[in-house]
């Protein structure tokens, strides 16, 4: 059977980071708000402990509060860079990985020089359409592809195809 659409993406760290971080910021917004509020409360307890009690008591609150805030600001960037570097190293590269995505009537196939992945459309959770990339989330895993790398068709054809398959497609402004 011949694929309906083909996408050839040169996945780079910048594209991967943009897609993953935008996806996490969108999907984990409430978790980030709650954890930041928790960190602020811990920092307040550390400050009050420093003023009214022994300063040794406030050290764990201060460290944990700062660690939570650090993770909310820089943790996603650090984690995605580490993840991409492992994936690129598997493909004997440090800068980019050549990916090919094939859209069939019932499934999506992702292929690189060393890996293959097949995902049924019914397993898709959501598809985020970013400015330059398309993020597909399924079973708590993520596929990032370049919107401008479709062969012989535009990305709007593929987006309409995914909507026909009853997949939740979200246009993101991030």
Span 122-147, pLDDT tens digits: 888 888 887 778 888 887 777 888 88
Residue 5, pLDDT above cutoff 80 = yes
Tokens of 39: 């960190």
* Predicted confidence (pLDDT) per residue in 59-94, tens digit: 888 888 888 888 887 777 777 777 777 767 766 777
Q: Which pLDDT score, from 0 to 100, does residue 161 have?
A: 84
Q: Cα separations (Å) of 161 from 103, 115, 121, 152, 164?
A: 10, 25, 11, 15, 5
Q: Which pLDDT score, from 0 to 100, does residue 69 have?
A: 87
Q: Which pLDDT score, from 0 to 100, does residue 54 have?
A: 75
Between these two residues, 173 and 158, which has the higher pLDDT value? Answer: 158
3-state secondary structure 123-143: HEEEEEECCCEEEEEECCEEE
Where are the domains positioned within the chain? 5-12+99-171, 22-88
**Topology of domain 5-12+99-171, per CATH?**
PH-domain like (2.30.29)
Q: Which pLDDT score, from 0 to 100, does residue 24 have?
A: 67
- 5 and 103 in contact (C-beta within 8 Å)? yes
Q: Which pLDDT score, from 0 to 100, does residue 74 have?
A: 78
Compute the distance between CA of residue 22 and CA of residue 135 in angstroms, rounded to an integer.
9
Average pLDDT, the chain: 79
SS3 label, residue 154 = coil
> Which whole number is the average pLDDT over 102-112?
84
């Amino acid at each position: 059977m011949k694929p309906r659409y083909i996408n050839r993406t040169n996945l780079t760290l910048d594209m991967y980071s943009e897609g993953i971080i935008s996806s996490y910021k969108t999907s984990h917004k409430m978790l980030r708000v709650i954890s930041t509020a928790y960190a602020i409360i811990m920092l307040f307890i550390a400050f009050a402990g420093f003023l009214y009690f022994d300063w040794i008591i406030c050290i764990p609150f201060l460290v944990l509060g700062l660690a939570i805030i650090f993770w909310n600001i820089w943790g996603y960037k650090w984690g995605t860079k580490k993840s991409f570097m492992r994936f690129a190293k598997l493909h004997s590269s440090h800068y980019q990985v050549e990916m090919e995505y094939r859209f069939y009537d019932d499934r999506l196939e992702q292929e690189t020089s060393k890996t293959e992945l097949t995902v049924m459309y019914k397993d898709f959770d959501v598809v985020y359409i970013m400015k330059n990339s398309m993020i597909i989330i399924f079973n708590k895993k993520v596929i990032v592809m370049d919107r401008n790398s479709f062969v012989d068709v535009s990305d709007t054809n593929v987006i309409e195809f995914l909507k026909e398959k009853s997949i939740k497609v979200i246009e993101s402004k991030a």
